[in-house]
């Protein structure tokens, strides 16, 4: 079993990265774990979209 981690600042970028990985590799997909983190720096909100792809 293997894992691949993805981390992007926009959800569409995360989607593109995962889709690219899945289309380039011939894998047996087990699961995808998704998470969003939000932090505030001054008046700016910073988002972090991440996912862990578990595969064989």
> pLDDT of 23-49, one tens digit each?
998 999 999 999 999 999 999 999 999
With a pLDDT cut of 90, the percent of the chain lying above it is: 96
Say how many C-beta atoms besides its own lie within 10 A of residue 6's C-beta.
19
Range of the domain at 17: 2-55
Structurally, how many domains does the chain consist of? 1
Q: What's this model's pTM, rounded to 2 decimal places?
A: 0.85
pLDDT of res. 25: 86
Q: Rounded to whole angstroms, how far apart are CA atoms 47 and 10?
A: 7
pLDDT of res. 9: 93
Q: Rounded to whole angstroms, how far apart are CA atoms 52 and 3?
A: 6
pLDDT of res. 20: 97
DSSP letter (8 states) at residue 13: H
With a pLDDT cut of 70, the percent of the chain lying above it is: 100
Here the tokens at position 8 are 């992007």
């Amino acid at each position: 079993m293997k894992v691949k981690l993805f981390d992007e600042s926009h959800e569409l970028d995360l989607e593109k990265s995962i889709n690219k990985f899945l289309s380039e590799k011939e894998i047996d997909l087990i699961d995808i774990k998704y998470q969003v983190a939000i932090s505030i720096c001054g008046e700016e909100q910073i988002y972090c979209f991440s996912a862990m792809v578990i595969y064989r």
